[in-house]
Amino acid sequence: MAEFDSPTLLVEAAHRTHEAGYLKIDAYSPFPVEGLAEAIGFHKNRVPLVVLIGGLLGGLSGYALQYWISAISYPINVGGKPYHSWPAFIVVTFEMTILFGGIFAVFGMLALNGLPMPYHPVFNVPRFAFATKDRFFLIVFSTDPKYSPSETRRFLEGLAPRSISEVPS
C-alpha cells in the first residue's frame, strides 16, 4: 500500500498501476475524488438500477394497496367518488415511490459496498488512520495474479509515494 499527499498524485498513480496490468487494486481517500474510480478500473455501478427497482416497487405496491383497500376490501362511498378514485391515489403512490426508492438507494448502496464491514486488513496499518483525514492511499491486493512481494513493492516505489506499507492479512 502506497501513501500520497494529493488527489492528483493518487489518480496518476492509480492510472499507471492499472495500465501496468494490476487489476485487483483499490484507492482510499478522505473525500470522493473525481476520476479515481475509473482509474482503478471500476465501471459497473449498479446503484441506479437498484434505486429504479425500488422506486417501481414502491409505486406499484402503493397503488395496488390503495386500489385493493378502496375498491375491493373496504369500499365506502366518500362524497360520491368512484371506488377506484385514481386522482386521489396519486399522492400516496408518489410518496411510496420516493420512500422505497430512497430506502433501496441507501441499503442498496451499503449492500453493494459490503458495508457494514467493521474489520478490514488495511486497518492494521497505523498510517491508514490518515485516510480519513488528509492522505491518499493506493493498494495492490495480494490476490492479484501479477502480485509478487518484491516486484510490486519496486513498482510502487517507482510512483514516488510518501511511504509504503505492507498490509498484514
Cell output for 3: 501513501
Nearer to another protein, 100 or 148 (CB): 100
Kindly state the cell numbers that stand for 90. 396519486
DSSP tag of 145 = T
Query: For another protein, which stretch binds (CB under 8 A), given 15-23, 83-91, 145-153, 155-163?
Result: 83-91
Residue 86 interacts with another protein (CB under 8 A)?
A: no
- Work out how close the CB of 140 gets to another protein at its nearest, in angstroms, rounded to a whole number: 14
Closer residue to another protein in complex, CB, 19/151: 19
Q: Does 89 bind another protein (CB under 8 A)?
A: yes
By CB under 8 A, the residues from 6 to 65 that bind another protein are 6-8, 11, 14, 26-37, 39-40, 42, 45-48, 51, 55, 65
State residue 147 phi and psi, 5-degree precision.
Answer: -70, 135
Based on the shown chain and the rule CB under 8 A, indicate whether residue 132 belongs to the binding site for another protein. yes
* Count of residues engaged in binding another protein, rule: CB under 8 A: 71
Q: What is the DSSP string of 50-99?
A: HHHHHHHHHHHHHHHHHHIIIIIIS---STT--SS-HHHHHHHHHHHHHH
| C-alpha–C-alpha distance, residues 101 and 30, integer Å | 27
